[in-house]
A and B are shown apart, each in its own frame.
Chain A
Amino acid sequence: MIKTDVVIIGAGPVGLFAVHQLGIKGLKSEVIDNLDRAGGQCIELYPDKPIYDIAGIPQCTGEELTKNLLEQIKPFKTNFHFNERVQEIKNEGNNWVVKTSQNKVFTSPNIIIAGGVGSFEPRKLSVKDAEKYEGKNIFYSVSDKKKFRDKKISIFGGGDSALDWALELSKVAKVTLIHRRDEFRGAPHTLSEIQKEGKVDIKTKYQLSSIKGDNNIKSIGLKSNDGKEIDIQTDYILSFFGLIMKLGPISEWGLNMDKKTIKVNTENFETNKKGIFAIGDICSYPGKLKLILSGFHEGALASVECFKRARPNEKYRFEFTTSSKDIQARLGIKNK
């Protein structure tokens, strides 16, 4: 059981800055995220796209913003728990007990939900029987490429993952790459390498229409944009249609929801449950803007209430980073 002042769900920009706002008040936080690294939507959806509306930073990419935020919170030596999703929360007196998908247990007076639009999960195939073969003949990521040796593999998608794996696996297996149009969004040099090697059977303007098999997949049906249908022999399907965001268990925690967002009180961004806060894209209130800068503000206000709950016997004092010796000490700044 990990004891902490605040459990933060979500390591996107807003969750990261909340670590900062809590940290300068002397509060420790533990951060949980379903992805394998920090950054949230910034790193998954638009790592290379410039952002122009972070105050004081005329332009930066999602990746740069994440890097800078991580640098900014370095002094607080925060623990991150990646590849874990919060499954369950339970009230115990003044504390919340938080359990993750990896069975880690936290106890804390405060939970800050900075979960964006939910946790990222691979977008799955929707044809009949796709679920039946998932994990057996259908994969949404590659963890062990040995099993594909000398097999017939159908790869779906037009992005970098599809192109990279088509090229890589074509060295050891018979690969068909299927994409719904002629243009690929993945790196052009990977595509030209695939074409140069000439080992991948590229089928464009086709989409998956059916899966045939018994215990294992035997073949798949493809349908072209103009209605032509073909069958190809397949042992494995690899599908790379990016990630989707799923709210997951959050909707079962008894929070006051408005569609996929959580209603909060704008004084401290607390939800209808004492000690549970929601900030960033996932919270809603009149006039809410889904901007990173709004999330920073929301985290700052939530951190004040978190302090009061984590340190009930101490008086909260508002302080500036420019002048507070306490804050500067927490930031590791040595004053002359």
Chain B
Amino acid sequence: MPKITYIDSSGNKKTIEVEKGLSVMEGAIQNSIVGIDADCGGGMACATCHVYVKEEWLNKLSKIEPGEQDMIDMAFEPKKNSRLSCQLIVSDELDGLVVTTPSKQV
């Protein structure tokens, strides 16, 4: 199974095997990763699963949709490498992906 690394805002790292086809958000929720809330449950409607993606991974991710970009506008401290983790679907290509969670989600 692909491994995804979640780093919280103070640098604590957790690497977890996430089943292919799940989203990076679901991987976090199922493994009780702190820092990803996902209030709307993956509907791209709340921006509380916001993560920063390590630069070298940005090109390997699915393209960002306008709807996701709109939600990121509302996220806490959005940056150039901001994504909603509910929109990142785990696959072999994403094995090793590293995401950092913001210091808070709202």
Contact = CB atoms under 8 A, between A and B. Distances in A.
Contacts of B46: 45, 117, 244-245
Interface of B: 37, 39-41, 43, 45-46, 48, 66, 69-70, 73-74, 76-78, 80, 104, 106
Given A41-B45, A225-B80, A181 B73 contact: yes
B69 A183 contact: yes
Given A123-B74, A241-B74, A45 B48 contact: no
A256 to B, nearest CB: 18
A75 interface: no
Contacts of A183: 66, 69
B79 to A, nearest CB: 8
In the A-B complex, the 5 residue pairs with the closest CB atoms? A185-B70, A45-B45, A241-B74, A242-B74, A117-B39
B69 A244 contact: no
Contact of A181 (B37, B43, B69): B69
Interface in A18-74: 41, 45-46
A260 B46 CA distance: 15
Contacts of B66: 183, 185
Nearest to A127: B77
Nearest to B29: A259
Given A180-B78, A244-B106, A245-B46, A281 B41 contact: yes
A159 B39 contact: no
Interface in A154-191: 157-159, 179-181, 183, 185
A242 B72 CA distance: 11
A313 interface: no
B39 A260 contact: yes
A159 B104 contact: no
Nearest to B48: A244
Given A244-B46, A244-B48, A290 B73 contact: no
B40 A185 contact: no
A225 to B, nearest CB: 6
A322 interface: no
A179 B70 CA distance: 11
A281 B42 CA distance: 13
B36 to A, nearest CB: 12
A126 interface: yes
Interface string A116-141: 01100001001000000000000000
B21 to A, nearest CB: 17
A241 B78 CA distance: 12
Given A41-B40, A45-B40, A126-B104, A159 B80 contact: no
Contacts of A41: 40, 45
Interface string A241-255: 110110000000000
A80 to B, nearest CB: 24
A41 B43 CA distance: 11
A157 B73 contact: yes
B70 A123 contact: no
Contacts of A118: 39
B99 to A, nearest CB: 20
Given A126-B76, A158-B73, A179-B73, 5 more contacts: A118-B39, A126-B104, A181-B73, A241-B74, A245-B40
Contacts of A181: 69, 73
B66 to A, nearest CB: 8
Contacts of A245: 39-40, 46
A281 B40 CA distance: 9
Interface hub of A41, A45, A244 (most chain B Cβ within 10 A): A244
Interface hub of B43, B46, B77 (most chain A Cβ within 10 A): B46
Contacts of A242: 74
